[in-house]
Structure 1
Amino acid sequence: MSDKSDKFLIKKIILAAGLSKRYGLKNKLTQHINNKPIINCLLDKLLSIYDTSELLIVTGYEHETIINLINNSDIECIYNNDYKKGIGTSISAGIRELDKTIRGVMIIPADMPIISTKDLIKLQNKFIELNCSKVIFPKYKSQFGNPVILPKKYFNILEGLKGDFGAKSLINKTDIITVNTDIGTIFDIDTVSNLKKAENIL
């Protein structure tokens, strides 16, 4: 039976290395929603429910700018030298940093500012309830979203990721458990119009 201490064995890997190609000339993570950078909208929610020791941020594009926005030396940040090759390299870089005691990872894109703390807690609680053994996907209506939580048995697969692909196609379907969540789990910022919509929702 799992207890509350299990939450400290689930690392939250925040992916903040991308080139923001679809957004335009600016790094979308630095753009503001209600006078706050997108990455800080997410981090403030994470820090309201998790200890800094539970977080790991993977940076790449405009590394120094992102670090300055984070402005919290207690949060572990690593630089992905291969960030230009895609999201898979950032997930791999994060996995390589994990301590052997970690039982699972919650992989969180940094461009999800409207995700709720309620949903984050719900996803983690389901993972713990299932003895940290299943892959937990959020689901809004019929659409799968993020963040995804994966157990330790997938760490070798995650570490081997390359290019601009995640691990979804490599997951055993019998391991997947879905949790019904709100719209924030399927809403990321890819374009200026997404940003404006997020402002309206918030």
Structure 2
Amino acid sequence: MEQKDISVAIVLLAAGRASRMGASGQHKLLAEFDGVPLVRRSAEAALGAGASRVFAVTGHRQAEIRAALAGLDVVPVANANYTAGMASSLIVGIHAAEPDADGVLVMLADMPWVTAGDLTTLISAFKAAQGRVIIRAVSDGKRGNPVILPRPTFKAVSQLQGDVGARHIIETCGLPVIDVDIGPAAHLDLDTPEAILAAGGILKG
């Protein structure tokens, strides 16, 4: 029997307020690396991974984030409730991707060293398992991001609340979890001006 093609969509979470950026109000996702806004850099990595669709969930300073993504084949999804925390963005993104996706790769937009190759590796592992597992990026055995959530977890995601991700679902849903080592990129997210500068970024807006 021929096995069905497993479809993976990518949901790029780009709606947050970046509260740890301090009183300056500068947006970490608009910081530039090699002249490219961080959110665009992340979206370009997602587009290079061979996913079926790429969705970008926007909220805080939505117009500027969408402008930074202009011209890319990314589907923007507005999260009007973004101030409620990350769970609300996860729910909006999963809902947008759900009709056609066997799995959703959840990608944080503030992880500059996650490459298209890393994402392709994660997606390949998911497809090899016929979409019946959770895929989690790790580095040296320590769990990180991104993760791929299969369809059986979507309902549980829809019930999340507050500033939480999918970790609890991953640990309690009973599905196998396959850890894929992508190196230090799995852990480097940029939450402060100091972290952005240390990673070689230039603060803009």
Relative to the length of structure 1, the TM-score reads 0.89
Compared with structure 1, are the counterparts of its residues 45 and 73 closer, same or farther at alpha carbon in structure 2 (3 Å cutoff)?
Answer: closer
The equivalent residue for 2:189 is 188
| Contact persistence 1:17–1:58 (CA under 8 A) | yes
The alignment status of 1:88 with 2:87, answered yes or no, reads yes
Which SS does the other structure have where 2:88 is aligned?
Answer: helix
Tell me how far 1:44 sits from its aligned partner.
Answer: 1.9
Letter in 2 for 1:54: R
RMSD: 1.9
The equivalent residue for 1:10 is 8
Which SS does the other structure have where 2:21 is aligned?
Answer: coil
| Contact persistence 1:136–1:176 (CA under 8 A) | yes
Moved more, 63-72 or 37-46: 37-46
The equivalent residue for 1:31 is 31
Tell me how far 1:192 sits from its aligned partner.
Answer: 1.7
| Contact persistence 1:46–1:117 (CA under 8 A) | yes
Gaps of 5+ in 2: none
Deviations 1:57-76 (A, max 9, x none): 10000010101110036421
The equivalent residue for 2:69 is 70
Tell me how far 1:37 sits from its aligned partner.
Answer: 0.9
Letter in 2 for 1:113: P
The equivalent residue for 1:179 is 180
Tell me how far 1:173 sits from its aligned partner.
Answer: 5.5
Number of residue pairs the alignment of both structures matches: 196
| Contact persistence 1:135–1:176 (CA under 8 A) | yes
Which SS does the other structure have where 1:124 is aligned?
Answer: helix
Counterparts of 1:29-68 in structure 2, within 5 Å, are 29-50=29-50, 54-68=53-67
Runs of 4+ residues over 3 Å off in structure 1:
none
Distance 1:73 1:122 in 2: 22
The equivalent residue for 1:197 is 198
Relative to the length of structure 2, the TM-score reads 0.88
Distance 1:131 1:76 in 2: 26
Tell me how far 1:170 sits from its aligned partner.
Answer: 2.2
- Structure 1 or 2: larger helix share? 1
